[in-house]
Chains A and B, each alone.
With several copies, the nearest count.
Chain A
Amino acid sequence: MIDLKVQLPGLNLKNPIMPASGCFGFGREYSQFYDLSKLGAIIMKAATGRERFGNPTPRVAETSSGMLNAIGLQNPGVEKIIENEVPFLANYDTSIIANVAGSTIEEYELVAGTFNATKDVHALELNISCPNVKEGGIQFGTNPSMAAKVTEKVKKASNLPVYVKLSPNVSDIVGMAKAVESAGADGLSMINTLTGMQIHLPTKQPLIANKTGGLSGPAIKPIAVRMIYEVKQHVSIPIIGMGGITSAEDVLEFLLAGASAVAVGTANFTNPLICSEIIDALPATLEKYGFTSVEDAIGKVVI
């Protein structure tokens, strides 16, 4: 029997697979395709202090082995999410992670504090790395002292474990990771998207109305694996890995690199059943490569 369980701060996961924030809404739509209780956890779409309408459309574009998006954090606001979305997800036997976003430190504190009051949310993912918000999100994500500061404030505003989501658009990912670890982060979540652009030749305009968008999908997988590997050598808090995962083999690659659990994003669009299929395939994949449990494989890359 292959043991898929993973124990992380605040999260008692039956398996290491969860849909990534923004790629699964609040779960409703995908509940048509399979039983969400199968998932290790669900990371909800970003929540901000108030409702946000996001960027103009088009908001997505296809790239070679990936896609660009600039949704712009559209969401109904933290209170509506707690009122309408969390109760729906609480019906399922899975952990709920709230993705916390904002334009100011105060907004991050507000959102984190509001989630703190609900018993059904098990952890926070601190989204300091969304490249599509202009007011300041980007600065939190590429500046280690800003990142540390928002982490510290959010830790004070909430009792929930905090996983800080790192941006790959930086010169020194290890420096970012160490800064938020020192500031009290309980874990890391990485990577968010890389900023990209695509120009539509017939109109000569950027394909994304916001001009630039975040690149995700298999194209960025080698960057994610490298960053997780590097960070793992320098921090002791656990990592939720993501970036281009589409198969159980990919999950094992992320575990070997140092992730303790993984999130699947873009692949949900290609195949709405992907998380369920990966969970089914994972035991045989672990076994094939000589592992008896997920915990067994974490960080086991051979150098």
Chain B
Amino acid sequence: MIKKESMQVISSKEIAKDTVEMKLENSYISETAVPGQFLHILLEGHSLRRPISIADVDKEKKLVTILFKKLGSGTEQLAEVNSGALLDVLGPGGNGFTVDTKGKSTVLLIGGGIGVPPMYYLGKTYANQGINVISVLGFQSKEHVFYEEEFQELGETFIVTNDGSYGDKGFVTNALHKVGKFDNYYSCGPLPMLKAITNKLQEKTGFISLEERMGCGVGACFACVLPTKTEKGYKKICSDGPVFDAREVVL
């Protein structure tokens, strides 16, 4: 259940160009969050909260890690928040990835840019349960790359950059041929990337995490709807998602 919680900033550091890793302490959220869920963060002077995915959880230390890119006024302000400060957060938000190991031996994670963070907590959860994890991560260029080592610890990891300044040049789809056999795939990233992937991996079972501008973040305002192939015709990203079966939604 989503709650309004106060989270203390334990650390904050820029780990790649414009990309900040922040660790937040809170027992309720660290105990209940599953991979793919998000925090809805209030920043003073802003009327709308900012949704940021949960990138990792340390249940023992009651820590939740988020990774975000400084893109606009909200994320820039968040980057300025110092250790010790308290954040007003709604969380954990939405429905995350279903971690289901039955009959699976290998899962494929595909993350693009700031879609990489939620993949990490998911991969870690699978790896801890003995599933092979293969990751394909795409970034703009070398200076934007983050968490390469962390993903390598989970399993085989391929990095691509748009400009070829690190790893393979191109888009994540260009690297998919290098990946061996896998059961399900999981992906988060920019819409064009998700379109290309769901297209290319049509035959596979996959789950994708989507983004949309949000009002309430809890399912009340109908700001974040997405057309679906189901009878009802739409889903709310904030409360039905952000994770959807790739075959269920219309991108």
Contact = CB atoms under 8 A, between A and B. Distances in A.
A32 B49 CA distance: 18
A71 B220 contact: no
Interface stretch (B8-16, B40-48, B131-139, B195-203): B40-48
B47 A266 contact: yes
Residue of A45, A62, A65, A66 contacting most chain B CB atoms (<10 Å): A62
B2 interface: yes
Nearest to A209: B213
A74 interface: yes
Contacts of A65: 47
A22 B221 contact: yes
B214 interface: yes
A217 interface: yes
Given A53-B227, A71-B223, A272-B216, 19 more contacts: A25-B219, A25-B220, A29-B239, A45-B222, A57-B212, A57-B226, A58-B212, A59-B213, A60-B213, A60-B214, A61-B213, A71-B222, A74-B225, A75-B222, A268-B220, A269-B217, A270-B42, A270-B46, A271-B42
> Of residues B1, B225, B233, which shows the largest number of chain A Cβ atoms within 10 Å of its Cβ?
B225
Given A269-B49, A272-B4, A57 B224 contact: yes
Given A29-B239, A74-B225, A269-B48, A60 B90 contact: no
The interface residues of chain A, by DSSP majority, are classed as loop
A196 interface: no
B234 interface: yes
B218 interface: yes
A69 B220 contact: no
A61 B222 CA distance: 13
Nearest to A19: B220
Contact of B225 (A25, A57, A266): A57
23 contacts: A25-B219, A25-B222, A29-B218, A32-B1, A53-B225, A57-B224, A57-B226, A60-B48, A60-B214, A62-B46, A66-B47, A69-B215, A71-B222, A71-B223, A74-B225, A218-B47, A268-B216, A269-B47, A269-B215, A269-B216, A270-B49, A272-B90, A273-B4
Contacts of A60: 48, 213-215, 221, 223
Contacts of A61: 213
Interface string A269-303: 11111000000000000000000000000000000
Nearest to B45: A65
Given A61-B213, A69-B223, A272-B90, A53 B218 contact: no
A23 B225 contact: no
Interface in A1-43: 22-25, 28-30, 32-33
A269 B49 CA distance: 8
Interface residues of B, number: 31
Which applies to chain B's interface (DSSP): helix, strand, loop or mixed? loop
Given A60-B213, A66-B47, A30 B4 contact: no
Contacts, number: 100
A166 interface: no
Contact of B233 (A23, A30, A53, A269): A53
A285 B243 CA distance: 37
A61 B49 CA distance: 11
A179 interface: no
Nearest to B212: A57
A278 B224 CA distance: 27
A271 B4 contact: yes
Contacts of B223: 57-60, 69, 71
A54 interface: yes
A57 B213 contact: yes
A210 to B, nearest CB: 12
Contacts of B225: 53-54, 57, 59, 74
A228 interface: no
Contacts of A33: 3-4
A136 to B, nearest CB: 21
Nearest to A267: B47
A67 interface: yes
Contact of B222 (A28, A74, A217, A269): A74
Nearest to A52: B222
A60 B236 CA distance: 14
A69 B224 CA distance: 11
A25 B221 contact: yes
A67 B48 CA distance: 8
A246 to B, nearest CB: 9
A133 to B, nearest CB: 14
B4 A62 contact: no
Interface in B222-242: 222-227, 233-234, 239
Nearest to B71: A202
B91 to A, nearest CB: 12
A67 B222 contact: no
